[in-house]
Amino acid sequence: MASSSNNPPLAPRYGLGRASGPSGAPATFTTPAAPYGSSAKTQQRLEAERLERERKVREERERLEQAGQNSLAELSEEQREEITEAFNLFDLDKDQYIDYHELKVAMRALGFDLPKQEILSILQTHGVQAAPPAQPTSSKAKQAAQQAYRAPPRLLLPFQTFQTLMAQRILSRDPTEEIIRAFDLFDEGGKGRITLQDLRRVARELGEGLQEEELVAMIEEFDMDGDSAISREEFINICLG
């Protein structure tokens, strides 16, 4: 029988054929490191993309503001006053900013009844973030909970932006729509026609000292079908000439 001393030593279990390290210990293998600087390059790329997005948003906002200023110059003095009055009426705290609800009713007062999504889109494009309200002193646990949950920022629309946006909308509005809106102001109760009584009421509200004979003459001049009233179609024809 051959002596066991003549046989080569058995390799350690689970280490057959494994190269040894400096002290005879099994060599270790590590995952190759990522190329040097790849993380920095990714950060640079993301930062460049963010700056480019901000530049495009800034340029688009400046373009819209310039277009709005041009539109504002085309309005009549009466139309500019109407925009200012609508804003001031619903700027309840008089800080020259309005929030979502105030913007919605101010636009409705000017004849623009927009759905919720369009109002939000205006604020997201042109609004500015409101300053967060001051938090009362509270326990550390409560402060930590407040920091963990942050409500979405509240967006406000400045007066100048409201002015320019409304100017653009007024100029792009169909003149017939403006005429119908004026007709509705005369037509109390939505009868579909302006009567002598309607003219009396409007003259009184505007402080116009018109005589009864003058009001009757206005009805007779524009009443084409002889019903002693001015219909919507007759009113539109009067305004369009």
Nearby residues of 89 by Cβ (< 8 Å), 6 or more positions away: 106, 109
pTM metric for this prediction: 0.52
Helix axes of 196-206 and 175-186: crossing angle, nearest 10 degrees: 90
CA distances from 142 to 139, 153, 183, 229 (A): 5, 20, 57, 68
Per residue in 3-35, pLDDT tens?
A: 444 555 544 444 444 444 455 555 555 555 555
Per residue in 211-238, pLDDT tens?
A: 899 999 989 988 888 899 999 999 998 8
For residue 98, the SS3 value is: strand
Per residue in 37-46, pLDDT tens?
A: 678 888 888 8
Q: Domains, the chain, ranges and CATH?
A: 51-129+154-172 (1.10.238.10), 176-240 (1.10.238.10)
The answer to whether the CB of 179 falls within 8 A of the CB of 236 is yes
CA distances from 74 to 26, 50, 80, 86 (A): 85, 37, 10, 19
Give me the pLDDT at residue 9, please: 52
Average pLDDT, the chain: 79
> Is the pLDDT assigned to residue 149 strictly greater than 50?
no
